[in-house]
Structure 1
């Protein structure tokens, strides 16, 4: 794909998601990747009953209409859809990533339940809006909204399948259109697997064109250009390639920038890159310190943790925290205090807290649950700062093994590891392990500070102000595009 379009997409769309103004439109190509039939395949038998081949017909809604007119009812077409689309097929990787992204508005013309099932796997709530009446229902707090503008397989009496359904769309389901238009006007929308020939989508795009004649909002569409393997001859390949180029260029009139992939199986990795870019805007602070061990360091660590929380807020990043002993509350306090200076209006979006359930004195911690929480936090954060990391055992202070586990989880997730070794405990040990290691410290794949930076961060003589200054410089460096070449 052209480097400029790819870089623009990987820069702007993750930023839109982070700011809460990113939406996704899921098309039939995603369902096809899961093993569901295309419309032409779905209506093959229907066409044969009428003496025509579905593969020869461009307007498949008309084919469904002909069958309904001949049979006197939509029962036959609906039975085919329920039989083929009602099956639970494996959720494709693209939707697994989509469910993890901070997207709240999802549109689709598909009937299947792939998106709902992808959300269910990670216990994330999603409100399904498959009929016009559903639009008036109040959204659940924290739930994403899935707009199935052509209906759903679990409501077969209210799906869009024929010419009549398209022609009467505005009277029966027209309430979807102004909402979609509003999202296309005010948000950055990513189209995945969508054929932009759907009459309703084309209609809304034309409305956007009318509203923004000179500078329409920018959206993105992941598309696959024709390949020679898809064509019966070189002449057909050249003709389809020329048509694709003109089509992609024409989409710019609607503010749509195309991101080309050679194969559909490239899309999941592209989405994972989006996920990593979003994660890089979130910082997880890991650490702990025993409150009842009087070594004189608890107060200094608390103040430094507060300052780190404020620094994260200052740099425009979100905070991910487990709210552990001393470090977690201090970081959260500093983060919130800094946000409050600007009104704190976006606190609900920028603070992600996953408190670890503490056991009673006569019980052991729920290690399985703690492991799941650590994995979730590592997935959400692209940068992990380690502060302290100690606990009491038998009256002696030792390195907190839980913080070391969080280091391993973060490293496996590909996060940038930033230990402030001067705070002691696990952070000091992690800094020692990273120094001189093969983990890259520069370029786009950097996952740790340089050895020189680690030395400064681990020096007990480094003042808190200098520690914070270096952490800020590292965060600012990570915010800029990097090149491994």
Structure 2
């Protein structure tokens, strides 16, 4: 499947809350964990088998259990392999940053749940059937560990016996996965589709709903000649064989509604996931603004009208708004957003409006309120992809001056690589920010075609112009 189309379609699924990720062992390798072959290699060697010649890895694990007659040594090897100290990797970092609520994995390690915590998200981890009956309050994501966890190796799914008894011992996992595969759009990462459980579940869904199944996505590396060079000589026979097999596998996955995205290297996966994240962020618009001193051009009534109409129009076009409570601006942004939410968005306020009221005091006297505000601004802006700056003045000791808080928010936005749109026709700090971009020679290329219009557009047409620029930024 075309990569651009995938990013657009999967981003839409994430935005609607319909997306899920299925992570296989490939997502853990860059952190230093072994894949299945690496895990089972010592077992194969003890059985006088060559792991590189074997394809039935579950069979190898079963042979080893048959040989030992107990699971103690298998459990110990799992514990040793997945309890060592490792660092996270870029795929996990971006994958757990995405606003996705459902993660499935066959991995025994804790990288996904650790990644969610690192991104300030609370995971609800499901390892046993008993876990499925309990829900953690205020959870941000569910992690289904369908093959168990490193801390309970005695209960891990590894050998043929485990797979054959799966529907009896873990039938609720089968039921839950089947329901998610029907109702959500999955992205499979680091997965080989050799798992008999998943294949059986996909087959049942195909029988139940036929061609009406959802479209899912699978990212994998394209078979490449470079991988079959030995001392600069191409092993053409092996390359052609694996290339044909990959094409057949891709066609076969389509039976289950799974579209394959081929990439040159697995190192591209974090970049692709970040593209999805950035696309989602550009649908969240941060509005920075404050005003205490009005003018003949910008009377209080006109300021209120602009703020209301801007928020209202953004919501009509299905954008989300991120904002603080800027004096003279914030309340009208909220009113404009709420009017549209209650009339057209089924009152789902949290899905469309994120508000960040600034703390006015701190309980911890060792912290500086200005430092706290800076951290707060950074958190606010990180939740958006496009930042609009309007007006920007304040009253200090009886005198009006430009809002230095807006300057700080602008600087933070630039450092975080956000798309900035200072609106010069609203005067004050926003005009200064616009002029400084020109003066410093760092005027964004995406604004150059709008430079004259931003300076000269009639105030009544300003909202339409801003919506036009935002849509252009999204592509």
Please tell me whether the aligned partners of residues 416 and 447 of structure 1 are also in contact (alpha carbons under 8 angstroms): no
Query: Taking structure 1 as the reference length, what is the TM-score of the superposition?
Result: 0.90
Unaligned runs of 5+ in 1: none
- Quick check: 81-90 or 269-278, which moved more? 81-90
Per the alignment, residue 371 of structure 1 pairs with 374
**Given the alignment of the two structures, is residue 469 of structure 1 paired with residue 464 of structure 2, yes or no?**
yes
2:334 to 321, 332, 335: 332
Cα 1:284/1:59, change in 2 over 3 Å: same
Q: Distance in 1 between matches of 2:379 and 2:174?
A: 36
For the residue of structure 2 that corresponds to 1:127, the secondary structure is strand
Please tell me whether the aligned partners of residues 221 and 258 of structure 1 are also in contact (alpha carbons under 8 angstroms): yes
Cα 1:447/1:271, change in 2 over 3 Å: farther
Q: Distance in 1 between matches of 2:449 and 2:70?
A: 67
Cα 1:36/1:264, change in 2 over 3 Å: same
Unaligned runs of 5+ in 2: none
Please tell me whether the aligned partners of residues 434 and 448 of structure 1 are also in contact (alpha carbons under 8 angstroms): no
Please tell me whether the aligned partners of residues 289 and 298 of structure 1 are also in contact (alpha carbons under 8 angstroms): no
Cα 1:410/1:121, change in 2 over 3 Å: same
Please tell me whether the aligned partners of residues 425 and 454 of structure 2 are also in contact (alpha carbons under 8 angstroms): no
1:407-418 alignment runs, 5 A limit: 407-418=410-421
Q: Distance in 2 between matches of 1:466 and 1:206?
A: 55
Q: Distance in 2 between matches of 1:154 and 1:299?
A: 63
Please tell me whether the aligned partners of residues 18 and 281 of structure 1 are also in contact (alpha carbons under 8 angstroms): no
Please tell me whether the aligned partners of residues 220 and 263 of structure 2 are also in contact (alpha carbons under 8 angstroms): yes
How far did residue 88 of structure 1 move? 3.1
Per the alignment, residue 287 of structure 2 pairs with 285
How many residues in Structure 1 have an aligned counterpart in Structure 2?
A: 465
Q: Distance in 1 between matches of 2:336 and 2:413?
A: 23
Q: Distance in 1 between matches of 2:345 and 2:267?
A: 44
Deviations along 1:284-311, one digit per CA (max 9) or x if unpaired, are 1111224xx5767444323321221111
Q: Distance in 2 between matches of 1:124 and 1:368?
A: 23
How far did residue 447 of structure 1 move? 6.0
How far did residue 114 of structure 1 move? 0.5
**Given the alignment of the two structures, is residue 423 of structure 1 paired with residue 420 of structure 2, yes or no?**
no
How far did residue 176 of structure 1 move? 1.2
1:436-451 alignment runs, 5 A limit: 437-441=441-445, 446=446, 450-451=450-451
For the residue of structure 2 that corresponds to 1:106, the secondary structure is strand
How far did residue 448 of structure 1 move? 6.9
1:23-34 alignment runs, 5 A limit: 23-34=20-31
1:264 to 263, 266, 290: 266
Aligned residues: CA RMSD: 2.3
Please tell me whether the aligned partners of residues 339 and 347 of structure 1 are also in contact (alpha carbons under 8 angstroms): yes
Deviations along 1:205-252, one digit per CA (max 9) or x if unpaired, are 212322343343111111102233433612101111111112112212
Cα 1:134/1:26, change in 2 over 3 Å: same
Per the alignment, residue 184 of structure 1 pairs with 181
Q: Distance in 1 between matches of 2:67 and 2:294?
A: 86
Please tell me whether the aligned partners of residues 418 and 448 of structure 1 are also in contact (alpha carbons under 8 angstroms): no
Cα 1:466/1:477, change in 2 over 3 Å: same
Per the alignment, residue 315 of structure 1 pairs with 317
Cα 1:20/1:62, change in 2 over 3 Å: same
1:60-99 alignment runs, 5 A limit: 60-99=57-96
Per the alignment, residue 455 of structure 2 pairs with 455
Query: Taking structure 2 as the reference length, what is the TM-score of the superposition?
Result: 0.91
